[in-house]
Structure 1
Amino acid sequence: MFFQRKTYRIKPDNLNDINNFFHNNVYPVHIKNGAKLIGRWVNETKDEILVIWEYTSMEQYERIDDLLKNSNPYNIAMKNLKGFYTEAKENLMSSTAPYPSAYHEHKHLLSVSGYITNKDGEVLLVRNFHRSDTMEMPGGQVEEGETLEEAIHREVLEETGINVSLHGITGIYQNVTSGVTCVVFRGEYQSGEVRPAEGETSEVFFAKITKENIEQFITREQFRNRATDAMNANYIPYEAFKAKPYELVSRFEVKKEYS
């Protein structure tokens, strides 16, 4: 057996269009050519879709993938959906007896976020398409094999066009409901032109934030708490290393220069 698990990050307003695309263009081709749909799930906030397919072999998967890519109706529909997906991640698993957890998302995810200031003390903020009711600090999910430091550099650059230097970690926040733990860094602008990321952020700018006006920008309490903690900047130690043999990758010491 061969399994494909694909996770899509979407804009909630586009869910119905994406569902119609799946049922009219993707599902029929798979079923007609012998694939089995294990399941398709939409999360509570309607900004993520998980799809798991079962194939008899890699060859069957590749044949169906080619059929879709060479289908005019499929390609026309894909063009109409351009920009609806903000992210798509695919995992391919080969197994004769897949374990039950292969049908589900990871129970715990790790993300990073950055309190980034410029020379005027202003803070870098973004507005994401799938959380358009609030501004927030840039950030995102840590990818496999990345250090936390590498992840925050990548996420800030992807979302805002900015390169940064980092001072350290100001807090760790766990969303028990979604299973996401977020590590917040504080850093400074180094280079780059501020710009939004197509399909991901609708606004990106530096703003002067204080405890008195922060609610005007960051309307969600959990994001506001992270920014307020970073504003005080009580740093905690951070170390990334490889084992066998031990190799230090990066380390931040405790600092209090911004307290």
Structure 2
Amino acid sequence: MNQPIYRRKTYKIKPEMLATFNDFFHTYLYPNQMAHGAKLVGRWVNEARDEITAIWEYNSMDHYKSIEEKIRATDLHHKAFLKRQELGRLYEESSQEFLTSTSSPDTYHHPQHIVSVCGYITNEKGEVLLVRNEHRADTMEMPGGQVEEGETLAQAVHREVLEETGAEISLTGVTGIYQNIRRGIICVVFRGKYQSGELRPAVGETSEVIFAELTKETINSYITKNNFRNRALDAMNPSYIPYEAFDVRPYELVSRFEVKQEVN
């Protein structure tokens, strides 16, 4: 098994450019790296606010080179180039170096995972809410994203769907749990119904939002990635599983979805 490598990227900036640089990073650099399999270990700014350091993890040097090659061919990379021309001098200089760990991955850290959610949301016609993510423009998918600290899974679905599409929804239950082993991401899929709100894309996140007549026969023309397609297929004819959110010390039930059969 290859030992992971770490890329330390350092940018010298003018302090007044910090907010602009951060916005550029989160809109263009971060999503493109993550979409192709890189992991962001962390990102820091010094006390003088004139130097930013980011450390990325890759499976190997070949993995890093492969990701860089794929990124250069993406539409998001081209948009980043145009944005840098518009902004002018984003940073004064940059440098990078590659590091390897002096210990095994488990020596200092417990395993870390990301929990995400998405929603199979239908309207009164039975059409399904789909989005096109700006850094995954080759497929449509169900709206969703990462669960924030302190949120229940249900709260995260409501927030993510609203942010990405403008839709207010109600939820009926959990239809599946999916694990991306390589990237350490666990996704919980909810099924729900559209309630209100004018559909609109989210700037810097989604480029298209639609309701589509999704069936086993039409799904391939909308959802091209196997992992996204499987989640939607499972949610079409759901077998719900229990979900409960609670607090402790003292115990408090926050929300619960029972196992039930939805009547279409």
Q: TM-score range by the shorter chain?
A: 0.5 to 0.7
> Is 1:232 the equivalent of 2:237?
yes
Cα deviation code 1:140-176 (max 9, x no counterpart):
0000010001000000000000000000000000000
Specify the alignment match of 1:149 in structure 2. Answer: 154
What's the RMSD between the two structures over aligned residues?
3.2
Q: Report the Cα distance in structure 1 between the residues aligned to 2:263 and 2:203, rounded to whole angstroms.
A: 34
Specify the alignment match of 1:8 in structure 2. Answer: none
Q: Is the 1:233–1:258 contact (alpha carbons within 8 Å) kept by the matching residues of 2?
A: no
One-letter amino acid of the structure 2 residue matched with residue 230 of structure 1 = A
Of the three residues 207, 215, 223, the one matched with 2:228 is 223
Specify the alignment match of 2:36 in structure 1. Answer: 45
Shift of 1:257: 1.9
| Normalised TM-score (structure 2) | 0.65
One-letter amino acid of the structure 2 residue matched with residue 80 of structure 1 = L
- SS of the residue corresponding to residue 114 of structure 1 reads strand
Of the three residues 107, 112, 115, the one matched with 2:120 is 115
- SS of the residue corresponding to residue 131 of structure 1 reads coil
> Is 1:80 the equivalent of 2:68?
no
Specify the alignment match of 1:94 in structure 2. Answer: none
> 4+ residue runs of structure 1 moved beyond 6 angstroms?
76-79
One-letter amino acid of the structure 1 residue matched with residue 258 of structure 2 = E
State the percentage of identical aligned residues: 58
Q: Is the 1:214–1:224 contact (alpha carbons within 8 Å) kept by the matching residues of 2?
A: yes
- List alignment gaps of at least 5 residues for structure 1: 1-18, 31-40, 56-60, 69-75, 82-98
Specify the alignment match of 1:207 in structure 2. Answer: 212
Of the three residues 5, 9, 13, the one matched with 1:25 is 13
Structure 2 vs 1, CA of residues 115 and 43 (structure 1 numbering), >3 Å: closer, same or farther?
closer
Specify the alignment match of 1:253 in structure 2. Answer: 258
Structure 2 vs 1, CA of residues 78 and 235 (structure 1 numbering), >3 Å: closer, same or farther?
farther
Specify the alignment match of 1:90 in structure 2. Answer: none
> Is 1:180 the equivalent of 2:168?
no
Q: Report the Cα distance in structure 2 between the residues aligned to 1:145 and 1:121, rounded to whole angstroms.
A: 32
Of the three residues 140, 164, 169, the one matched with 1:164 is 169
- List alignment gaps of at least 5 residues for structure 2: 1-8, 19-29, 52-82, 89-106
Of the three residues 116, 126, 133, the one matched with 1:128 is 133
Shift of 1:78: 11
| Normalised TM-score (structure 1) | 0.66
Q: Is the 2:131–2:140 contact (alpha carbons within 8 Å) kept by the matching residues of 1?
A: yes
Structure 2 vs 1, CA of residues 226 and 44 (structure 1 numbering), >3 Å: closer, same or farther?
closer
Shift of 1:26: 6.3
- SS of the residue corresponding to residue 130 of structure 1 reads coil
Q: Report the Cα distance in structure 2 between the residues aligned to 1:184 and 1:26, rounded to whole angstroms.
A: 43
